[in-house]
Amino acid sequence: MLITGNKKIETFYKALLDRKQSYVGIFFVGVKTTSVFCIATCRARKPKLENVEFYTTFKEALNNGYRPCKICKPTENANQAPEQVEKAIKLVKENLKEKITDYQLRQMEISAEIVRRWFKKNYGMTFQAYQRMYRINNAFLELKNGKNATNTAFDTGYESLSGFGYTFKKLVGKSPTNSKNKNIILINRLTTPLGPMFVCATEKGVCLLEFVDRRMLETEFKDLQKRLTANIIAGENEHIKQTKKEITEYFEGTRKTFGVKLETPGTDFQNLVWDYLQKIEYGKTSTYQQQAGNINNPKAVRAVALANGFNRISIIIPCHRVIGKDGKLTGYGGGLERKKWLLEHEYKNAST
């Protein structure tokens, strides 16, 4: 849809000038003078306001004669990692006991430089660090299943037991021989039409699902590790795989409820509020006052609002469905434009 409202155009144009990550996927901007379209974070020289028009999907920009910008690559970066990065990630997952070298990447026609830059920007770590975490997670699972540390070390590609032990303890928090009762939190990345998200899960279930640019995300990571007495390392388990599948279906408009298991460390009151959030039906909204009334504590409006703000599992625990009593949108960690998009998406698909 072409955006025609002056107020929204002004908002989107300011987001374009400021390169706001929270607007990635919210709009695609067509530049009339160059016939290209971009996402909000494009590094290219900014066009004048009179030379742009905004669309809600990149398909609409394409249909109106615009071609993807070669700098920000909107059809890739608004939704998923570049193809070369996807290939590199696939190599890691298919070779959990091997170290993937730059030479191997080149043999697969994958640019090691592109992969390194992408991981540093999107994960805040190197590709090699990402690999190490995946290998250590695989070793952790083998140790929990009874395999001894020496065999695990050499099977995982380490040339010395001491090197394996040092890396394992640094990432997991305990030595290989003392880790059987240790809990770890796995982190992975998924892509959505509203930008990339991080998903974290333990053996019990998903404990975090947030947009990567969410305010206070680092604080959430620290709090989660403290509450679960666990370290976060890159990896994937069945809960994460199920989340990726269900979130994809949600954005496609075919899923209205979620079945993935959750782990939500918090106070009894917070969990009471989060449980109620999951009872707000798809396509409908509630208010903080209604929430407080439904948990039989009508005076706890402010406490309910704070508990909503501490929700770490967005979309699945749908705090975006809570609005002000005057019908206006209230604060949302992922940004109000995302909240508006999610509500409109649900209203549109509620009857299908």
Q: What is the DSSP letter of 319?
A: G
Contacts 24+ apart (CB under 8 A), 106-112: 110/84, 111/84
Torsion of CA 323, 324, 330, 332, to 10 degrees: -40
Give the closest residue to 185 by CA, choosing from 201, 167, 169, 209: 201
CATH superfamily of the domain spanning 6-77: DNA Methylphosphotriester Repair Domain (3.40.10.10)
Do 198 and 189 contact (CB within 8 A), yes or no? Answer: yes
- How is the chain split into domains, by residue range? 6-77, 83-243, 263-349
pLDDT at 108: 92
Q: How far apart are CA 342 and CA 320, in angstroms?
A: 7
Considering the segment(s) 83-243 as one domain, its CATH architecture is Orthogonal Bundle (1.10)
pLDDT at 21: 82
Same fold, 83-243 and 263-349: yes
SS3 content of the chain, % helix, strand, coil (to 5): 50, 15, 40
Q: How far apart are CA 289 and CA 41, in angstroms?
A: 37
Within the chain, what is the greatest distance between any pair of CA atoms? 67
Kindly tell me the burial class for residue 267, based on how many C-beta atoms sit within 10 Å of its own C-beta (0-12, 13-18, 19 or more): exposed
Do 95 and 157 contact (CB within 8 A), yes or no? Answer: no
Torsion of CA 334, 340, 342, 343, to 10 degrees: 140
Divide the 352 residues of the chain into consecutive groups of 10 and give the mean pLDDT of each group. Answer: 92 94 90 95 94 91 90 81 88 89 93 90 87 90 86 82 88 86 91 89 96 86 93 94 97 95 96 95 94 87 92 96 88 85 93 83
Kindly tell me the burial class for residue 310, based on how many C-beta atoms sit within 10 Å of its own C-beta (0-12, 13-18, 19 or more): middle
Q: How far apart are CA 312 and CA 168, in angstroms?
A: 27
**Is residue 207 annotated as a catalytic residue, yes or no?**
no
pLDDT at 63: 86
Given the residues 38, 42, 207, 319, the one annotated as active site: 319
19: left (phi over 0), alpha (psi -120 to 50) or beta: left
pLDDT at 346: 96
Helix, strand or coil, per DSSP, at residue 205 = coil
CATH class of 263-349: mainly alpha
Token match 């409006």: residue?
Answer: 301
Q: How far apart are CA 85 and CA 95, in angstroms?
A: 15
pLDDT at 225: 93
Residue 302: partners with Cβ closer than 8 Å, 6 or more residues away: none
